[in-house]
Each structure stands twice: as structure tokens, then as C-alpha cells.
Amino acid sequence: MVDTRFSLSVHVMMTLAYNKEEQLVNSEYLSGVLKTNATFVRKIVSRLVDAELVESFRGKGGGIKIARSPSEISLSEIYAAAVEEKCLVSTHKRPVFKACPVSCSMDGILHDIVDGIEDSTKAYLSRLYLSDLLKKVQKKNIR
């Protein structure tokens, strides 16, 4: 199963950043924008609130807004909030065939590769900011 939490979290953050001058945004609006269940959106938003990327306001007329300027929020922060403990790639958890040197070595070999992929991804995302992505949003008249 493909994990979409990061991409949906970026989409939420982009929507909030793009609409920062407007009223608070609620999960029903975001679920329409994201074309997904409002309960799932609330779970994503909860992680973003916990990471202090989003501010939440309860009550009638409540909603959420971006907590900082888009130029101060890196994609690595969103990634950390969205995926928590889950890695991009993981090793299999099958028993080792002790008579096979390859089988005995694979966990260590793949562990190093997985760590390298994760480190490279985090380094790449730390160089990208929401403001960089906002520059790529096409301005359209929506009817």
C-alpha cells in the first residue's frame, strides 16, 4: 500500500499558505480539496498541529491556519510530522537461512541502503520550503 500522508500533508499546507489571508479553513473544506475523507484529513491536521506547523481554533467558525510564513517551513518538517516512524523503504522481516552467507548478510546490507535513502531524502526536503512550491502554483480564475 502506498502511503499518501506526506503528499496530502504538503497539499494541506499549500492550501493554507495559498489562502493565508482568508478565513480559517475547516476539515470539510480540505476534504473537498483533497478529495478524501474528512476524518482522514483531521488525522493529518492533528499531526501538523502537534508539529506546530498549523494553528487550530475550536468552536463555531473555528478551523485551522498556517502557523508560520511559508518561507520558514521546510518540507522536511512536514515530512517528519506526516510520517513519524515510517520509513520510505523497509527491509523484509523474513527469517535468516543460516546456511547461506547472503541470507545472513542481507539485513545489514539493506539497513545501510535504507538509511542512505532516508538521509538523502531528508537532506533534499530540508532544502525545499513551502514558499518554493507556492511559486509553482498556477494562478487561475476559479468559477
DSSP string, 88-125: SS----PPP-TT-HHHHHHHHHHHHHHHHHHHHHHHHH
Catalogue all structural domains in the chain, each as residue range(s) with its CATH number: 5-134 (1.10.10.10)
Q: What is the mean pLDDT of each run of 10 residues along the chain (143 residues)?
A: 82 89 81 89 92 90 90 94 71 81 86 87 94 85 49
Other CB atoms within 10 A of residue 14 CB: 19
User: What pLDDT shows up at residue 60?
Assistant: 80
User: What pLDDT shows up at residue 50?
Assistant: 94
pTM of the model: 0.82
